[in-house]
Amino acid sequence: MKITKCDFSAASFPMTSSSYAQLQSVSYADGTQKLNGLTAKPKITNKKKAGVLILPAWMGIDAHAKNSAEKLSALGYYTFVADIYGEGKGPKDQKEASELAGYYKKNYSEYHKRIKLALDQLIKAGADPSNLAVIGYCFGGTGAVEAARENFPVKGIVSFHGGLGRDSNRTISPIKPKLLILHGADDNIVPGMEVAAFQSELKKANADWQMVYYANSVHSFTDPAAGNDNSKGAAYNEKAAKRSWEAMLQFFAEIF
C-alpha cells in the first residue's frame, strides 16, 4: 500500500488536542500592500517535509481555513493560510466578498501573484519546495485550479467546491500538477456547462485529474458555518465533508 511510504493518515497521526500546532501570524507584502497569513509547523513531521498552501473562501481567512491548517499540521504537514485581499481590504459582507472574488477571477494574474507569494511563505516556514500542494475552498478552490493552470511548482492541487471557469480567450496549455476536484452533485452555483468546459479543458491540457461528486451536496459542503439548508445554494454536508477530506489525504499519499 503506497501510504506506508509516506503515511500522513489520521491513523498514523492521531489528532488529539496536543497534536495541533499553534497557528502563527506571518506578515508579508505584495509591493506596498501588507498581507497577513497564518502558518503552522508540524510537531511530528515526515522527512519529506511536505507543505500545503490553503486558499480560503471568498470572505478571506476564516475558521474553516484555520481548522484545515491545524488538522493538516497535526498530520505532519507544514501549512500556510494565504491572505489574498490584504490588510484592510477584506470584505465586510457577502456582497463585498462577491465583488472582491469577482475582481480576482477577472484579473487572474493578480490572483496568481498573491498565491505565489503565499507559496513562498510556505517554503520559508520550512516546507520542502519540491513537495508542495495547494488546496482551496470555494473562491480558494478556484485559486487552486489556477495554480495548476499556471503550472506552479506544486505536485498537486485540491479544489473543494471551487469555481472552475476559464476565460475563453486564454490559451489551454499542458498542465503538470495533478488535480483532485471535489464537487457537490447538486451545486448550482457552478453550472453544468462550466463543469463540462472544465473537463474538456483538462483533456486538452493532457492533465492528470480526478473529479469526485458528492450526493445531496451543494456549494460550501465542507464548511459547518454554511448552515444545513440546501435550498439556499450553499450548505454543510457532514458526510461529504468527511469523505472529501479522506479523498484529499489519499491524494496526498499518492503525490508525496
Grid coordinates representing 91? 470584505
pLDDT at position 13, please? 38
pTM (2 d.p.): 0.92
With contact defined as beta carbons under 8 Å apart, do 252 and 155 qualify? Answer: no
The CATH number of whichever domain residue 246 belongs to comes to 3.40.50.1820
Segment 26-41, tens digit of pLDDT: 999 999 999 999 999 9
Q: What is the pLDDT of residues 87-145, one digit of tens each?
A: 999 999 999 999 999 999 999 999 999 999 999 999 999 999 999 999 999 999 999 99
CA distance 12 to 223: 25
- What is the reported pLDDT for 11? 39
What residues have CB less than 8 Å from 29, skipping those under 6 apart? 35, 117
Count up the domains in the chain and report the number.
Answer: 1
| Distance in angstroms (rounded) separating the CA atoms of residues 196 and 191 | 9
Name which of 17-21, 130-134, 217-221 the model is least confident about.
17-21
DSSP run (H or E) holding 181: strand 178-184
**Between 94-106 and 108-124, two packed helices, what is the crossing angle to 10 degrees?**
100
186 three-class SS:
coil
Residues of the domain holding 96 = 2-255
